[in-house]
Amino acid sequence: MNTKQPLLEINNLRTSFFTEHGEVKAVDGVSLTIDKGKVLGIVGESGSGKSILSLSILRLISHPGRIIGGEIKYNGDNLLDKTGRQMRHIRGNQISMIFQEPMTSLNPVFTVGQQISEVYRIHEQLGKRQAMDKAVEMLRLVGIPSPEKRVKQYPFQLSGGMRQRVMIAIALACNPDLLIADEPTTALDVTIQAQILDLIRDLQRRLHMSVLFITHDLGVVAETCDDVAVMYCGQIVEYTDVVTLFREPKHPYTVGLMNSLPRHDVEQQELVPIAGSVPSPYEPLAGCRFAPRCPYAQERCREAQPELNEVGGNHKVRCWIYTEH
């Protein structure tokens, strides 16, 4: 039994957006843990609540959204009890985030060196020269050639892959314990994607960081993560280690994701799409949220919502089939 305190522990987190059309439960009762030095993958379709979960951890939810319940414990302290000033110290210093699109995350009117050095000036109170020297070191760490030259350039002068490396340099500047990577390779071509993933894996091992890796790509999960949480409509529907997930996927949604992937180990395989579409967030369902698309749905699935229950070892599934058994 693991008696060590996890680095991050989320309990029954609920984040909603209150619009003129009604309440949207973007994150609805999510619970998960990340141990020190481990990588947890959050996987699911667009709109499943993955990015809202990451922004909730950093308390970056803006109007009309707000966190309405639950706990986000970091090193045993509930981040929801922290003041705004305390959270500003934690962001970038202890918990950092890499966003999806570096061109919209980097400021176009400042050089990349200015943007990296700002982290050191804010969190470590370094002087301008010292901070810039540190920025050069970070560019070298993330594999950017001629860092002394690149540090003086603006984001538009760099390729997409280099801009993403700059984002990683900013995120890792203060050697955080937890890195949140929100689809960090989405806008990049396949070759650059592989380089960025290799870089994140290498830095994670060298710096012994914990990583929350958000993606819709199961291939990335297989290569990068230790544990996996599958999200659908704001809830975790399956939660286990990466080997078990690919060997024994249990939730019908997870199985559907697996079946929709092209495979290279069989000669002929027809891709099977998941039937139907994601239900409207303004029309909450009484039962299982996947029931309208599930080939195994029964009457009970449409009437009552199942809990996320353990089905063996550290494998949890939100499904009436396994709850009854």
Asked if residue 302 lies in contact with residue 287, where contact means CB atoms within 8 angstroms, the answer is yes
Burial class (CB in 10 A: 0-12, 13-18, 19+), 83: exposed
| Residue from 227, 190, 197, 233 nearest 212 by CA | 227
Instruction: Choose the most confident range, by mean pLDDT, from 156-160, 225-229, 285-289, 300-304.
Output: 225-229
The residue with greater pLDDT, 192 or 51, is: 51
| Residue from 193, 189, 250, 248 nearest 219 by CA | 193
Where helices occur in the chain by DSSP H, the ranges are: 50-57, 84-90, 102-105, 112-123, 128-141, 147-150, 160-172, 190-207, 218-224, 242-247, 252-259, 299-303, 320-324
* This prediction's pTM: 0.90
Type and span of the H or E element at 66: strand 65-74
Asked if residue 116 lies in contact with residue 110, where contact means CB atoms within 8 angstroms, the answer is no
| Ordered strands of the 39-43 beta sheet | 95-98, 178-182, 210-215, 39-43, 227-232, 235-241, 315-317, 309-312
pLDDT in tens, 289-299: 999 999 999 99
Q: Classify 121 as helix, strand or coil.
A: helix
pLDDT in tens, 27-49: 999 999 999 999 999 999 888 99
The full set of domains in the chain, from first to last, is 8-94+174-324 (3.40.50.300)
